[in-house]
């Protein structure tokens, strides 16, 4: 186990000087701390978007099409996917632009850019904001991990396929029952429109539609379910609504630098609107509360490591990276017993 060391995850560092490009965007933005999002969106517009369009044109044939398609897929689905998806997650919780520009910018990102990374328009926002953060992985959350054995690969695939085939329907029914009709309408319009769009584009260019839209959709939903599974793998069955003990934190990882401190998942559920640069400081403020509740915090590993260790039942490796805040565990064996207890299926 590890002691709580100094945090290396990103916090806000003011720029010494602003470029004219920075000043242009700051005129319409709410928070200068969001300038890194502008840089990311700029790169996407210079690379992913034009290449996606190029794949649908008649300019490329045979091996030349594949010579562009393969690096495009890597760039969009491996290099930018996490960065974009977690940026969009931040934008769902905090409005990036001033009121005059916010709705147009949000619609553009939702309907034009999100599909390039496997997100059907309006689906993520409706599910995440309308249900997941309301229910916090409890029984009425249709992406809840509670009723699954969370160190079982068989259980994970049951969870994944259940979401793939019934997730949209369940979310729509939940939003309708809770009288969140606007979100239910946005969800259904986005999903149906995207389905029709993909079918039509198959007649335009089947290969390009598969590479640009359909495969990324399946890949994105797999990645999101893997992430949610890992974030909510350790749950105290005696108090499943406790936000400290139904999620985890991952600190001091390169993943946090790339994906906007997404590892601070307990902090995010405690304070969903908190800016990502404030999460490390908020964690340190609450470290005594983490210790009192024996909250699960890992140092130096991220969600994919944790998923692999769980599926292979390598609790010893999880224990190697577990942070023993304020010596909340007396022994390594006690920590492993608690982790195993918290991955147990909750009926």
3-state secondary structure of 307: helix
pLDDT given at position 339: 98
Low-confidence residues in the chain, pLDDT < 70: none
Q: Are 321 and 2 in contact (CB under 8 A)?
A: yes
Query: Rounded to an integer, what distance in angstroms lies between the CA atom of residue 281 and that of residue 300?
Result: 18
Q: Are 313 and 151 in contact (CB under 8 A)?
A: yes
Of 177, 203, 231, the residue at which a domain comes to its end is 231
Q: How many domains does the chain have?
A: 2
Query: Rounded to an integer, what distance in angstroms lies between the CA atom of residue 31 and that of residue 113?
Result: 22
Q: Do 38 and 106 share a domain, yes or no?
A: yes
Q: Do 182 and 157 share a domain, yes or no?
A: yes
pLDDT given at position 347: 85
The tokens for 51 are 């290449």
Question: Tens of pLDDT along 79-138?
Answer: 999 999 999 999 999 999 999 999 999 999 999 999 999 999 999 999 999 999 999 999
Q: Do 196 and 152 share a domain, yes or no?
A: yes
Q: Do 221 and 265 share a domain, yes or no?
A: no
Query: Rounded to an integer, what distance in angstroms lies between the CA atom of residue 109 and that of residue 105?
Result: 6
Outline where DSSP puts E strands in 70-197: none
Of 204, 231, 258, the residue at which a domain comes to its end is 231
Q: Do 227 and 157 share a domain, yes or no?
A: yes
Query: Rounded to an integer, what distance in angstroms lies between the CA atom of residue 284 and that of residue 7?
Result: 9
3-state secondary structure of 44: helix
CA distances from 53 to 79, 105, 172, 190, 210 (A): 18, 21, 32, 21, 13
Q: Do 258 and 316 share a domain, yes or no?
A: yes
pLDDT given at position 65: 97
Phi, psi of 227 (to 5 degrees): -65, -45
Q: Are 216 and 116 in contact (CB under 8 A)?
A: yes
Q: What is the pTM of this model?
A: 0.95
Q: Do 198 and 305 share a domain, yes or no?
A: no
Q: Do 84 and 203 share a domain, yes or no?
A: yes
pLDDT given at position 187: 97
* Total Cβ atoms within 10 A of residue 246: 29
Q: Do 160 and 226 share a domain, yes or no?
A: yes
Query: Rounded to an integer, what distance in angstroms lies between the CA atom of residue 88 and that of residue 125?
Result: 9
Give alpha helix (H) positions in 8-80. Answer: 20-26, 35-46, 48-56, 62-74
Specify if 7 maps to a domain.
no
Secondary structure, 3-state, 154-184: HHHHHHHHHHHHHHHHHHHHHHHHCCCHHHH
Q: Print the domain residue range for 294.
A: 248-342
Rounded to the nearest 10 degrees, the angle between the axes of helix 215-231 and helix 153-177 is: 100
Q: Do 62 and 145 share a domain, yes or no?
A: yes
Q: Do 220 and 274 share a domain, yes or no?
A: no
The tokens for 223 are 């990645």
Question: Tens of pLDDT along 173-182?
Answer: 999 999 999 9
Q: Report DSSP letters for 210-228, one per residue.
A: IIIIIHHHHHHHHHHHHHH
Q: Do 190 and 304 share a domain, yes or no?
A: no
């Amino acid at each position: 186990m590890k002691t709580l060391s100094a945090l290396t995850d990103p916090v806000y560092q003011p720029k010494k000087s602003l470029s004219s490009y920075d000043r242009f965007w700051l005129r319409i933005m709410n928070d200068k701390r969001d300038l890194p999002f502008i840089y990311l969106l700029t790169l996407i517009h210079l690379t992913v978007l034009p290449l996606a369009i190029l794949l649908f044109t008649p300019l490329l044939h045979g091996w030349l099409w594949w010579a562009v398609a393969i690096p495009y897929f890597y760039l969009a689905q491996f290099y930018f996917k996490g960065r974009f998806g977690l940026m969009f997650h931040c934008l769902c919780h905090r409005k990036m632009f001033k009121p005059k520009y916010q709705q147009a910018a949000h619609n553009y990102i939702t309907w034009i850019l999100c599909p390039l990374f496997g997100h059907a328009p309006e689906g993520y926002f409706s599910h995440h904001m309308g249900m997941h953060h309301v229910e916090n992985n409890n029984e009425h959350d249709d992406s809840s991990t509670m009723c699954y054995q969370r160190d079982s690969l068989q259980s994970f695939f049951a969870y994944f396929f259940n979401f793939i085939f019934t997730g949209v329907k369940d979310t729509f029914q939940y939003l309708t029952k809770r009288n969140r009709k606007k979100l239910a309408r946005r969800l259904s319009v986005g999903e149906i429109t995207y389905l029709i769009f993909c079918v039509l584009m198959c007649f335009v260019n089947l290969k390009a539609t598969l590479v640009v839209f359909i495969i990324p959709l399946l890949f994105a939903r797999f990645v999101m379910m893997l992430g949610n599974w890992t974030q909510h793998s350790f749950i105290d069955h005696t108090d499943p609504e406790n936000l400290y003990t139904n999620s985890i934190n991952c600190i001091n990882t390169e993943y946090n630098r790339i994906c906007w401190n997404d590892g601070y998942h307990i902090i995010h559920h405690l304070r969903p609107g908190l800016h990502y640069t404030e999460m490390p400081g908020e964690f340190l403020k609450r470290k005594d509360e983490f210790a009192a509740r024996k909250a699960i915090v890992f140092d130096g590993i991220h969600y994919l490591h944790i998923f692999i260790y769980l599926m292979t039942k390598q609790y010893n490796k999880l224990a190697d990276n577990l942070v023993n805040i304020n010596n909340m565990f007396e022994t390594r064996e006690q920590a492993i017993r608690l982790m195993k207890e918290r991955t147990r299926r909750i009926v």
